[in-house]
Amino acid sequence: MAESRLACRECHYINHGDAQACENCGSSSLTEDWAGYVVITHPERSEIAEEMNVREPGGYALKVR
């Protein structure tokens, strides 16, 4: 069984399912209701990272509800 993950409503960072706050930005606004997933390894060279305002490497949800 796959572990549930929580997406941050503020920065879209994907957190572990037991997180109380976002590991990336510290927001406590986390949700299981998200879709799509992108891994950004070099945000400084990524057009997707620029579009999403991502500054740190990691996994991000494309759509957060």
Q: Is 35 annotated as a binding residue?
A: no
Would you state the pLDDT for residue 3? 77
pTM of the shown model:
0.91
What CATH number should be reported for the domain holding residue 39? 2.20.28.90
Please indicate if the annotation marks 6 as binding a ligand.
Answer: no
In angstroms, the CA 16 to CA 3 distance is 8
Q: Report the chain's mean pLDDT, rounded to a whole number.
A: 96
Residue range(s) defining the domain that contains residue 27: 6-64
Q: For the chain, 65 residues long, give each residue's pLDDT as a single digit of tens.
A: 567 999 999 999 999 999 999 999 999 999 999 999 999 999 999 999 999 999 999 999 999 99
Q: How far is CA 15 from CA 25, 48, 59, 60, in A?
A: 11, 19, 8, 9
- Residue 1 located in a structural domain: no
* 25 labeled part of a ligand binding site: yes
Task: For residue 62, say whether it is annotated as part of any ligand binding site.
Answer: no
Q: Which residues pair with 16 in a beta bridge?
A: 5
Instruction: Report the Cα 26 to chain-centroid distance in Å.
Output: 12
CA 42 from chain center: how many Å?
Answer: 15
Q: Indicate whether 56 belongs to any domain.
A: yes
* Number of domains the chain contains: 1
The whole-angstrom separation of Cα 13 and Cα 22 is: 7
